Amino acid sequence: MEQVSGREDAVPARAPIITRERIAVALLFLMNGYIFGGWAPKIPEFAERLGLDSAGMGLMILVFGLGSLAMMPVAGALSAHRGSGIVVRIFALAFIPALLIIALVPNVVTAVIVMFYFGGTMAAMDVSMNANAVAVEKKMRRAIMSSCHAFWSLGGLIGAATGGFLIAQFGSTVHALVTTLVAAILIATAWPSIIPDTEHHHPSGEKQKLTLPRNPLPWLVGVMALFSMVPEGAILDWGAYHMRQDLGASVTMAGFGFAAFSGSMAIMRFAGDLVRDRFGAVKTLRACTIIAIIGMLIVGFGNSSATAIIGFAICGIGISNMVPIAFSMAGNMPGVNPSVGLSIATTLGYSGMLVAPSLIGFVAKHSGFGVVFLALPVLLLVVLAFSSLARYADHKH
């Protein structure tokens, strides 16, 4: 009995802040964001080459979203069955040449297939790398999810910034080749240290891992992820437009609003893991949700560009760690395989980001974006009401 107790006393010891497994999963997020960021400056050339108008590009983006939603559950099931370490390697390899394939697409029909592939491989890698991050969190007994998402944002920034320059100077194909090479180097660096993530597999329970859970907890966490991501998507898609059209801001000022939100969110995501380890996931989620609500209300009631910029910056601080905590919760539900829980959370969450912008645009057409930003806190209040579930994101068991 005393030997068992001593072993249990040793379990809570945390790993160092930096480990090879943590670096590896951070590189996975960096690579995924880097390729997606490289897509943004490629869009105009892609549309022009294929003769697509705004409606045609809308169709391509829809196909991208459908591919994402189709592959998220598949990646979750595969990760539950085989382990996220294997699955993330497979889909990372499949995702690496995505921009190169897009650069070589000869016609619209092929483009539809490629965009489905692009969205599917990106989303499948997203689910499996989040599951792998949960496995690293469990091994380290430290929060790392927020910084992983910060590395995704950093990768997106690097991909977008360098992509525009490379396309302008050397053309779309060279840009795609460079992006593919850099992504391959990142994956090769991470490859040996990707955590196997097989310790939670039990042969007697394999069939259950590949079925949707009847336990309501992962579905509730998925709704929390959805309600956390809709406000984020609203700001990303409509924040600058609101400042330009409703508040009469200049293009530069509208850009400052977007930058204030993105910048504060990225900074707080890098700090989020330390905050979670210090105060716990429940307190962190509650504080972040309240801060996000305050920011939304400032934007909604504000009537100047300066007020909107301040509000968006506060929103970024609040929203920054809500989704990472939700994903950590999803990967730690009792009796639910981490990959299955994460596939539910990511599918529900990202479906909101795909559907919500069009609904928000419709509502805003009739009532204005001020009303929209005043209504979005209702979703955040739901997250706040169930914030006690964030206890599952902590690693004290």
Q: Where residue 360 sits, what CATH number does that domain have?
A: 1.20.1250.20
Residues 152 and 291 in one domain: no
Average pLDDT over residues 45-63: 87
Number of Cβ within 10 Å of residue 252's Cβ equals: 8
The DSSP line for 184-229 is HHHHHHHGGGS----TT--GGGHHHHTS----HHHHHHHHHHHHHH
Does 325 map to a domain?
yes
Q: Tens digit of pLDDT for each residue in 282-340?
A: 999 999 999 999 999 999 999 999 999 999 999 999 999 999 999 899 888 888 888 88
Rounded to 10°, the helix 20-39/108-140 angle is 160
My answer on whether 160 and 217 are in the same domain is no
Q: Is residue 233 part of a domain?
A: yes
The C-alpha atoms of residue 359 and residue 365 are separated, in whole angstroms, by 10
Same domain? 375 vs 266: yes
Domain total for the chain? 2
Is residue 3 assigned to a domain? no
Together in a domain, 243 and 123: no
Which one of 139-148, 174-183, 213-222 scores highest in mean pLDDT? 174-183
Are the C-beta atoms of residues 252 and 269 closer than 8 Å to each other? no
* Domain co-membership, 295 together with 332: yes
Query: 43 with 52: CB under 8 angstroms?
Result: no
Question: Do 79 and 113 share a domain, yes or no?
Answer: yes
169 in a domain, yes or no? Answer: yes
178 and 252 part of one domain:
no
Lowest mean pLDDT among 41-50, 114-123, 190-199, 288-297: 190-199
The alpha helices in the chain, defined as continuous H runs, are 2-10, 20-39, 43-50, 54-82, 84-95, 98-103, 108-140, 145-170, 172-190, 206-209, 216-245, 251-279, 281-301, 305-319, 322-330, 338-367, 369-375, 377-385
44 Rama sector, left if φ>0, alpha if ψ -120 to 50, beta otherwise: alpha
Query: Which pLDDT score, from 0 to 100, does residue 212 have?
Result: 67
Please compute the mean of the pLDDT values over residues 47-68 and round it to a whole number: 87
10 domain-assigned: no
- pLDDT one-digit tens code per residue, 349-378: 888 877 787 788 888 888 888 899 999 999
Asked if the structure places residue 11 within a domain, the reply is: no
342: confidence class by pLDDT, cuts 50, 70, 90: confident
* Reported confidence tier of residue 4, pLDDT bands at 50, 70, 90: very low
Of the chain, the percentage scoring pLDDT greater than 90 comes to 50
Give a yes or no: residue 104 inside a domain: yes
Domain that holds residue 41: 20-197
Instruction: Report whether 35 contacts 162 (CB < 8 A).
Output: no
- Mean pLDDT of the chain, nearest integer: 87
Read out DSSP for 9-78? HHTTPPPPS--HHHHHHHHHHHHHHHHHHHHGGGHHHHHHHHT--HHHHHHHHHHHHHHHHHHHHHHHHH
* Residue with the two structure tokens 């240290």: 193
pLDDT, tens digit (0-9, with 9 covering 90-100), for 201-250: 444 444 444 566 778 888 999 999 999 999 988 887 788 888 888 898 88
329 and 372 share one domain: yes
User: For 13-27, what is the mean pLDDT?
Assistant: 86
Domain identity same for 151 and 247:
no
Query: Is 367 inside a domain boundary?
Result: yes
